[in-house]
Every structure is written in structure tokens, then in C-alpha cells.
Amino acid sequence: MTTSVTSRTGGTAPVRSGAARSVLCLVGALVLLVLALFASVMFGNMSNSFGDVLDVLSGDGDSYLTTVVESRYPRTVLGVLAGVCLAVSGTLMQGVTRNPLADPGLLGINAGAAASIVAATAFLGASGQSETMGWALPGALLSGVFVHLLGSAGSSTSLVRLVLAGAVLTAVLTAFVQAVTLSRPQVFDSYRYWVVGAFGGRDFSAFWPVLPFAVVGLLVALVLAPSLNSLALGDESATSLGTNPAVIRGTGLLTATVLSAAATAAVGPIAFVGLAVPHIVRAVGGVDFRMQVLLAALTGPSLLLFADVIGRILLRPQELMVGVVTAFVGAPALLLAVRRMKGGA
């Protein structure tokens, strides 16, 4: 009897410990996100105190202070949207491809959005923030779907074909963008404000059109998470557990495409978030994709918002665009990922 009780206790303790760790990770990520949200509305060309922000939120702030703080709402909301989309998209990409260096850029999404904006501006007369961003979304989606179809040629999705198709399409579209922007200076003037990746100068008109894509993509990612756990065991093991690897892999890639396209259309191409955040959440929350997706949805916005705050503080009264800041932060993350892969080989 004693042996039985000891066995049961030994079996439940790790489960309780794992559950407690998961709750602790989620609470910590949520607290970090709240701090990032407050920092985003506190800091700009001028800093406001925590009390000032609370006064505005409660409706007690003066008109000038209210205008200043409320002007930071659109970029904060866009930071949350882009952070969720890019982080979850990267998590799906790395889970589906089983490649720790995979990120949404493999699908040619950034190049597709850029080519679409340039073509619409040069040949269709598109102008203004909302109109050009309206063209970015379909261009990004079409590029991702095209790369996926090439990678799925034959009986199943080939990860090698997928990467090669993405590289080829990116090269072709990049050449097209360079040819048009170099020959038409007015197109370059419009394109250069989008291509760096930034939250400044954008309003809620960039948020609402892509919100449905972000919500649907996040919901699908949450549904796919248990199947990604099976897929991580290998195709044969996943099949024996009742999972169709081809369907899960294809759905995961399409979902990653939709999420990344939504973020790229809203704020421009932002590098390294989709690469770095999955490594962070894996190190903190473990290998369960259900936890990874949830943590990525909380950690991605925090990373982007803090990067945006740093960019606003460093060059006051000017600002450093968030895409530049994330590149400086993401490059060391890429090097660390490569070192971990080398050490584990």
C-alpha cells in the first residue's frame, strides 16, 4: 500500500509543478505586457509620469496632457497587433518546419507586400497611408500562398522546396521593387516610409482592416497547437496518434502567412521578432506548443513596444524606427540560436 501511494505521489508532483510553472510564466508575461503598454503611452518626445497617465485614463487629465497621451494610443495598439502576429507566426513556422531558424520571411511575405505597394503606387496611382497599406495585405498573402503551393508540389510539402521557393520569389520581387523605385523617384518617396517598419505616423485606419485576419490566425494557431506537439515527434508518430501531418503542416504554414501578412501590411516589415520570440518562450515555457503560442502572443507585443519606446528615447526629439531597433536586438538573438544549434549537434 505504501508503495502505491508513493508511486501516485511521485506521478502527480511533476504534473502540479508543470502546471504551476505554466501559470507563473503566463502571469509574468501578462505583467510584462501591462508594463510595456504603460511605457508606450508614457514616453515620447516628452515623458509623462505614471500618475499623469492614470489621470488621463481616469478622465481627470487636462486637455493638453490628454491630447499628448491619446496621440500614442494608435502606435501602442499597432504594436500589440504586430507583436502578436509576428511572434505567433514565427512559432508556427518553427514548429511546422522543425527548424529553429525559421521565420515568416521564408515565405516571401515582406517582398510580396513591398512589390504590391510599389506596383500600386507606380501604375495605379495609389497614395496615402491607408490606400497603400490596403495593397500590402493582398500582395503579402498572394506571395505566401504562391510559395506554399510551390513547396506543396507533389504528394507532400517539401521544406527544402518551400525555402527555395521563398528565396527565389523574394529575389525576383526585390529586383522588381528596386527597378521601379530607382526609375520613379516619387514612388520611392512613398515606399521608403513603409519599408523600414515603424509605428509612428500611423493611425487606427491601419489597424481595423487587418484585425480580422489577426484574430482568425490566432484562433487557428491555438487550435493547431496540440497537433504541433504530435508533429514534433515525427510524421510516423503523429500519424499513429491520429494526426495528419500534411494537413497540419499546410494549415500551419497558411496561418503563419496570414498572421505575418497582417502585421506587415499594418506596420511594414519588422525583422527578427518572428525568429527571436519563439526561442524566448521555448526557453521559459517549455516545448508544449499550447504554452508556446500563448506566451508568444503575450511576449511579442512586449518586445515590440519596449523596442519602440527605446527608439523614441534614444534620439529625442527625433525617433529611431522600431524596425531598426529590433534588428539590433534580433541579430544577437540569431547568433545565440546558431550557437545553441551548434552545441546541440
CATH of the domain at 215: 1.10.3470.10
Cα distance between residue 53 and residue 69, in whole Å: 7
What domain range is 170 assigned to? 77-340
pLDDT of residue 237: 85
**Does 2 reside within a domain?**
no
**Does 269 reside within a domain?**
yes
Q: For 124-210, where are the alpha helices, taking DSSP H only?
A: 129-151, 159-183, 185-195
pLDDT of residue 6: 44
Cα distance between residue 22 and residue 1, in whole Å: 32
**Does 10 reside within a domain?**
no
pLDDT of residue 340: 64
Cα distance between residue 319 and residue 106, in whole Å: 29
pTM of this structure? 0.86
**Does 286 reside within a domain?**
yes
Q: For 196-288, where are the alpha helices, taking DSSP H only?
A: 211-231, 235-240, 245-267, 273-285
Taking CA atoms, 20 is separated from 24, 33, 247, 331, in Å, by 6, 20, 33, 33
* Most confident of the following: 30-39, 253-262, 320-329: 30-39
**Does 295 reside within a domain?**
yes
**Does 230 reside within a domain?**
yes
pLDDT of residue 171: 92
**Does 34 reside within a domain?**
no
28 pLDDT exceeds 90?
yes
pLDDT tier at 34 (50, 70, 90 boundaries)? very high
333 pLDDT exceeds 70?
no
Cα distance between residue 258 and residue 26, in whole Å: 25
**Does 38 reside within a domain?**
no
Averaged confidence pLDDT in the chain: 83
Q: Which amino acid does the sequence have at 126?
A: A
Q: Which set of grid coordinates corresponds to residue 264? A: 506587415
Taking CA atoms, 341 is separated from 52, 290, 329, in Å, by 47, 23, 19
How many domains does one find in the chain?
A: 1
3-class secondary structure, 233: coil
